[in-house]
Structure 1
Amino acid sequence: MKKIYIKSVSEINKINFGILSKTIVGLFLIIAIIAIIASCSALKSLENIMKLKFKINSVSNFEVQDISVQDKAQLADFSSTDILKLLQAFSSQKLFATFILNIDVQNPNARDGSSNNLNLEIVSFPWELFFNGKNLISGNIQEPIKLVGTNYNEKLKIKITLNLFDILNNSNINELLKVALNLGGRNASTNKLSLFAQPVIGTFIGNISYPEKIKIVDYEFR
């Protein structure tokens, strides 16, 4: 007959404590590994912040004195009522145009959605708009723009209001309207536009500003 040895309570407690200690150590190791992986991913994403690239996509919602030019390709497309309203504004040398400048943002973080996890957003975007090399107007975004991290190319919309006389001073109304049509008409082109901007990106560690201004054009990402 085999002898049955009954361990003391203290010995059993020692065994249980040893098992529990190993389990706790294992859990801490798992948590540490996860934290290291997460921190590496966050650091990579922070490095990619300075790799955001911008490109002018298009101009939309172009209006002159509240008259839309999006459906117009030539001066003859303006109605007599439009011309009368424009002439009245022209006589005071205040021919105001409003439009949306659409900017594509190439976001390297969006490939794995990490920018969304980091809650990245463009908190400031001081800009200067140039037409054919001439500085027209400057401004900034009115509120932060969140980088959603779901598309590699994200969108940035800048609302702009300017006096067409700032583009071509001492010009007649036909020349000014031709500029408006070239920028926002049916056959619009943005090849004469450029934007100088210095983005400030908000992150979980604070705001990060680009070290210098970047020139944004319509033919490549920069």
Structure 2
Amino acid sequence: MREPEFQDRYEGGRVLADHLRRHARQPGTLVLALPRGGVPVGAEVARKLGVPLDVFLVRKLGTPGHEELAMGAIASGGVRVLNREVVNELNIGREQIEAAARREAVELQRREESYREGRPPPNVRGRTVLLVDDGLATGTTMRAAVAALRLLEPAAIIVAVPVAAAESCESLAQVADEVICVRMPEPFYSVGLWYRDFAQTEDDEVRALLAEATREGAASEAQPSA
């Protein structure tokens, strides 16, 4: 078994930022991190690149009786995507879909309110979005995030992670405009194995990182241009 690739998510974010240098201080570029583990990574990327940070919340819609199987997802901005293949194959009715969506919407709304603390979600239309997480195992959540984000009409979606399973990176390349996977160790097993410290990211940490990024962005805008 190889040694972990990164000390923690913050180091993963700094290394990832080095692979995204061409986006540094580019107008219209935005980092959207997937909570919760993606936020420390995204915070370092945004800080090093000098671009805004926000979160993009995704909640999987589990198939009735087989909750681990996604029949779709809901996301920030009131977006909903359905996996029509799963819905049709399992003959899932509209009422079942609506019930699952209502349940997940409650948690999504709770997190939106908790993390943003009154700040409105960003307008991504026409912008280059760096969609960041701490890693990709199956890539299911990230695929749902890309599909949902696409409906909000960004100019480009770049999936970026410090570590991932190679097959997940290849799969996501079919739906994202670009995929940056810094490390693709084999065998992969799980994301957490490649961090020495993979302690759960708590809501307080997410709020603090977002608030700090907002303050830094406001301070930067307030500085007179050269």
TM-score (norm 2): 0.19
Pair member with larger Rg:
1
TM-score (norm 1): 0.20
More helix by share: 2
More strand by share: 1
